[in-house]
Structure 1
Amino acid sequence: MDIDYELYKIFYRVAVAGSFTKGAEELHITQSAVSQAIKNLESRLGTPLFLRDGRRIRRSQEGEVLFRHIAQGILNFSAGERSLKEMAGFDSGEVRIGVGDTICRYHLVPIFKSFAEAYPGIRIQVKNRTSSGILSLLRSGSIDFGIVSLPAGPGQYKIQLFRTVRDVFVASGRYEVLQNRSCDIDELVNYPLLLLNGESTTRKLLDHFLQSRGIKVVPAIELESMDLLEEFAKIGFGIAHVEELSVQRAISTGELFIINTEPALPERELGIVSLGATLPSRAANLMCEFILTREPVPSVY
């Protein structure tokens, strides 16, 4: 059977997007052209590839099997095209990175600045997601690599340690009774706690640490941003669990203080996560090496 790569490319984009409309937008063709291409491919293979429910679609069992077989091939084609474009040197190219708010702001912005100055011809595309969202982008081929809190969760990933960070509990003067002394972790959980939502890796690590001591936490406030946790702590809403680097400025100005817990919270690892043994382009490899060789710098925020 002759293989029409264009049909498979359209199928792949629709499958990843979960929508004929979004797939058409990404491919820069009309929705009717996408619909006709999928119909032709289904006719050629003799099986439905998508199950339709109004405007929503999902892959059929057969479509899921096909997707697993062709996904890596499509990604390899794309990587090959990008590598050829970069063979002349680093005057051009693109690197696509997935990263969360706090890691990006306090660890990567200075690195991105230095990289852009050293390689002005390489375009940096950053997609901001939670750790689980970053892994989803990685599996779909939407990014070259991601930087997440470890562990990365189930899946076949190549992981390189980027940095070790320390999380702390911080509070405003409203809780000065806890300042300048050691506070048992069992005592601390009796205060209103401001935590990241339960789906974040950072929160899961904290929950695991507390549960190992027989402590179950019901937070007063759950948020998706450490910056917001900091702001709520500043106005006295409770005690926030944040990365130490992210609150350096608030500590130096006296708006917040670090609570010395007993035992101290365990350190947490950040890692560069990718698929396969090699990254898909020279630009991605260059950026990865650049990130791994940079030392932490004090926050300017």
Structure 2
Amino acid sequence: MSSKLDLYKVFTKVGKSKSFSAAAQDLYMTQPAVSQAIMQLERELDTRLFTRTTKGVTLTNEGKLLFEYANSAINLIDVGEGKILEFKNLTAGELKIGVGDTISKYFLLPYLEAFHNQFPNIKFKIVNGTTSELCAILKSGEVDIAFCNFPVDEPRLVQIPCLTIHDIFVCGNKFQHLLTEPITFDALTNEPLILLEQESISRKYVDDFLSSNGITISPEIELGSHDLLLEFAKSNLGVACVTREFAKEYLDNGNLFEVPLSTEIPARSIGMCYLNSVSLSPSAMKFVESIKKQ
């Protein structure tokens, strides 16, 4: 026998069947190999575990005591191995995802629905946060995958772009005079602007681009939600900087209008991140693969 665990597996099988030959058949071993395993365990424990008779074997008092513990341990190992197989076959498990409200609503939900339909026994744990917060909890191991606004300066993370997005300015009916011809950023700063809070990656991206063109923006209103940007602009409270792909419904319905710019803000992307130093769980790996296929 190559290990103590193998010896105990033989011991519990013999203890249940009360027969070396029956145990050998169940374990796909020869009867002499089973006998040798039991003798080896008895030598190592310096204890007689079975009483041999012409009708088979019975546990000694010491053997009965050991059997209670060994049988429980083997059963727990079997249960553990079964759970591992469940995880590998995606018949059980949990997928922990970090994502913000906007990306969740406008990008991630269809993928979650499709994955849930294919693997209904995998539970989702969704953790909400900004890109900076999500990167922090991803590095701490609290989530398996995070969906973030790119670019992200995190060398420890694998970063996979999923969707190209465009930052635009939109307005309601009150500001339709801005739609007649492309407007410069310098002229746009004269309008009441509505932007995300400065801490957001999306806001920083726009600020950095405008700053590189010598423009500094001082918004009248700062908000923590993309949906609020759309609603505030729809209510004619100002001109909002939003994501075109996430404002499509408002634009298509005529509730908002895209302000033509003399210079477009360069496209960026949203995508998924995970630690490059830690292996993904089977459920996380399968989910990543499902996103990559799209």
Structure 2-normalised TM-score? 0.69
What are the equivalent positions in structure 2 for 1:57-136 lying under 5 Å apart? 84=84, 86-136=86-136
Q: Deviations over 1:19-50 (max 9, x none)?
A: xxxxxxxxxxxxxxxxxxxxxxxxxxxxxxxx
Retained in 1: the 8 A contact 2:169–2:240? yes
AA partner of residue 222 (structure 1): E
Could you say if the C-alpha distance between residues 292 and 81 of structure 1 is closer, same or farther in structure 2, counting changes exceeding 3 Å?
A: farther
Q: Give the Cα separation in 2 of the matches to 1:271 and 1:127.
A: 16
Could you say if the C-alpha distance between residues 103 and 87 of structure 1 is closer, same or farther in structure 2, counting changes exceeding 3 Å?
A: closer
Q: Deviations over 1:111-158 (max 9, x none)?
A: 111111111111121111000110111122110010111122345211
Retained in 2: the 8 A contact 1:86–1:283? no
Q: Give the Cα separation in 2 of the matches to 1:258 and 1:116.
A: 36
Q: Secondary structure at the match of 2:209?
A: helix
Retained in 2: the 8 A contact 1:83–1:282? no
Task: Decide which moves more: 251-260 or 155-164.
Answer: 155-164
Query: Structure 2, unaligned stretches of length 5 or more?
Result: 1-79
Q: Is 2:276 the partner of 1:253?
A: no
AA partner of residue 117 (structure 1): N
AA partner of residue 207 (structure 1): D
Q: CA RMSD in A?
A: 2.0
Q: Is 2:209 the partner of 1:171?
A: no
Deviation at 1:250, TM superposition (A): 1.4
Q: Give the Cα separation in 2 of the matches to 1:116 and 1:205.
A: 34
Deviation at 1:84, TM superposition (A): 2.5
Q: Identify the residue that residue 29 of structure 1 maps to in structure 2.
A: none
Q: Identify the residue that residue 207 of structure 1 maps to in structure 2.
A: 207
Q: Secondary structure at the match of 1:160?
A: strand
Q: Give the Cα separation in 2 of the matches to 1:211 and 1:244.
A: 21
Deviation at 1:102, TM superposition (A): 1.0
Q: Secondary structure at the match of 1:203?
A: helix
Q: Give the Cα separation in 1 of the matches to 2:218 and 2:88.
A: 56
Q: Secondary structure at the match of 1:214?
A: coil
Identity of aligned residues (%): 34
Q: Identify the residue that residue 269 of structure 2 maps to in structure 1.
A: 269
Retained in 2: the 8 A contact 1:144–1:279? no
AA partner of residue 269 (structure 1): S
Structure 1-normalised TM-score? 0.67
AA partner of residue 173 (structure 2): G
Deviation at 1:168, TM superposition (A): 1.1
Runs of 4+ in 1 over 3 A off after TM superposition: 80-83, 85-88
Q: Identify the residue that residue 299 of structure 1 maps to in structure 2.
A: none
Q: Secondary structure at the match of 1:183?
A: coil
Could you say if the C-alpha distance between residues 214 and 130 of structure 1 is closer, same or farther in structure 2, counting changes exceeding 3 Å?
A: same
Task: Decide which moves more: 83-92 or 166-175.
Answer: 83-92
AA partner of residue 229 (structure 1): L
Q: Paired residues, what number?
A: 215
